[in-house]
């Protein structure tokens, strides 16, 4: 069977496929007609967040059995079109949760203490000690929007560092939130109470633009962290709130359009720190998601049950 891999995954995952006897083709720069041609005789397709698996891709992939997403978010895959074509979609929901949570904690500290800004100035020869008076996380309130796997891990970590944690998630129980030290509240009270808001929802029609001008007003002079998905936070509204001095700062790992355009308003303000979708980029996480996705592709190709379909 041929498995096409169109975003880089760890070698360990490619080995799992080859050991099962599959022909593994990698094409990390494939776009447009080249992608359609490469997928036309593929039985399995493995992607991360870079490849848009559109209806056209699924239409072209006549022999496709499964799309494996080596990570969590499946917003780059047209799930309805996959269903129409009888193609299984499976993700790797566990393997990068710790990496994403650690990156979120790192970004929270980085914005609270202006670490990247001070680093750049020192690299440029400036000893800007008196320009940076940071904010302690201890004793502050963290608002978690989306208390799923990553949100819960972040809540536990920042609770243990002395933050009070409130959370908004319409789909989980109060008891579940309490077990990890978070108080479940409604959306607006969550934003109003928080000094730091961290976003951990998927990108869906319901969450697109969830945090825009009005919601940022409720956060006031706090900090916003988004290591979940671009599009959940309105980027223009965010840049405007930093520009007018309302919001103290933001730390953003994910963007509505990736790669982020050089003329994005998010790049115009020192108080907005950015990373290029690095949440899952640790060796351990990449090995985890690559091997579990490859195992699911192998299972699908021999007609066995696929765990995370």
The binding site for ligand MLT (CB under 6 A) comprises 48-49, 71-73, 96, 277, 279-280
| Interface pick for ligand NAD out of 215, 235, 253, 271 (rule CB under 6 A) | 253
By beta-carbon proximity to ligand NAD, the closer residue of 1 and 273 is 273
- Residue 85 annotated in active site: no
27 binds ligand NAD (CB under 6 A): no
Nearer to ligand MLT, 230 or 249 (CB): 230
Cβ proximity to ligand MLT: between 57 and 70 the closer is: 70
Rule CB under 6 A: choose which of 96, 108, 264, 292 binds ligand NAD: 96
Identity of the residue, 140 or 200, whose beta carbon is nearer to ligand NAD in the bound complex: 200
3-state secondary structure the chain: CEEEECCCCCHHHHHHHHHCCCEEEECCCCCHHHHHHHHCCCCEEEECCCCCECHHHHHHCCCCCEEEECCCCCCCECHHHHHHCCCEEECCCCCCHHHHHHHHHHHHHHHHCCHHHHHHHHHCCCCCHHHCCCCCCCCCEEEEECCCHHHHHHHHHHHCCCCEEEEECCCCCHHHHHHCCEEECCHHHHHHHCCEEEECCCCCCCCCCCECHHHHHHHCCCEEEECCCCCCECHHHHHHHHHCCCCCEEEECCCCCCCCCCCCHHHHCCCEEECCCCCCCCHHHHHHHHHHHHHHHHHHHCCCCCCCC
Residue 43 contact among ligand NAD, ligand MLT, none, beta carbon within 5 to 8 Å by kind:
none
The least CB distance from residue 73 to ligand MLT, in Å, is 3
Which residues sit opposite 3 in a β-bridge?
24, 44
- Give yes or no for a contact between 302 and 296, defined as CB atoms under 8 angstroms apart: no
Cβ 206 to ligand MLT shortest distance, Å = 17
Closer residue to ligand NAD in complex, CB, 57/97: 97
Is 176 assigned a catalytic role?
no
User: Which of 48, 69, 200, 229 is flagged as catalytic?
Assistant: 229
Examine residue 90 and tell whether it contacts ligand NAD (CB under 6 A).
no
What minimum distance in Å lies between the beta carbon of 306 and ligand MLT?
18
Rounded least distance, CB 198 to ligand MLT, Å = 15
Nearest distance from C-beta of residue 58 to ligand MLT, angstroms? 20
Q: How many residues bind ligand NAD (CB under 6 A)?
A: 31
- Shortest distance (Å) from residue 280 CB to ligand MLT: 3
Q: Which of 31, 186, 257, 258 is catalytic?
A: 258
Near ligand NAD in 141-180, by CB under 6 A: 145-151, 168-172
133, with CB counted inside 10 A (0-12, 13-18, 19+), is exposed
201 binds ligand NAD (CB under 6 A): yes
Q: Are 116 and 273 in contact (CB under 8 A)?
A: yes
Site string for ligand NAD, 210-229 (x = CB under 6 A): -----------------xxx
Q: Please state the length of the chain.
A: 309
């Amino acid at each position: 069977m041929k498995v096409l891999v169109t975003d880089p995954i760890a070698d360990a995952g490619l080995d799992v496929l080859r050991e099962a006897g599959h022909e593994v083709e990698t094409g990390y720069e494939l776009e447009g007609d080249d992608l359609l041609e490469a997928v036309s005789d593929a039985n399995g397709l493995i992607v991360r967040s870079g490849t848009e698996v559109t209806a056209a891709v699924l239409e072209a992939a006549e022999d496709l059995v499964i799309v494996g997403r080596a990570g969590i978010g499946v917003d780059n895959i047209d799930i309805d079109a996959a269903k129409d074509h009888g193609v299984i979609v499976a993700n790797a929901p566990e393997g990068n949760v710790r990496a994403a949570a650690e990156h979120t904690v790192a970004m929270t500290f980085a914005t609270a203490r202006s670490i990247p800004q001070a680093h750049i100035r020192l690299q440029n020869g400036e000893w800007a000690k008196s320009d940076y008076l940071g904010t302690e996380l201890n004793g502050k309130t963290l608002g978690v929007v989306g208390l799923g796997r990553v949100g819960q891990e972040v809540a536990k970590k920042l609770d243990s560092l002395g933050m009070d944690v409130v959370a908004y998630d319409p789909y989980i129980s109060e008891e579940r939130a309490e077990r990890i030290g978070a108080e479940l509240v409604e959306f607006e009270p969550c934003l109003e109470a928080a000094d730091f808001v961290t976003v951990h929802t998927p990108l869906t029609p319901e969450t697109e633009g969830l945090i825009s001008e009005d919601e940022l007003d409720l956060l006031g002079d706090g900090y916003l962290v988004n290591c979940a998905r671009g599009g959940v936070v309105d980027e223009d509204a965010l840049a405007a709130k930093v520009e007018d001095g309302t919001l103290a700062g933001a730390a953003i790992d994910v963007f509505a359009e990736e790669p982020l355009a050089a003329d994005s308003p998010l790049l115009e303000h020192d108080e907005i720190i950015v990373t290029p979708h690095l949440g899952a980029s640790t060796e351990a996480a990449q090995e985890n998601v690559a091997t579990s996705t490859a195992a699911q592709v192998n299972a699908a190709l021999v007609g066995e049950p696929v765990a995370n379909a």
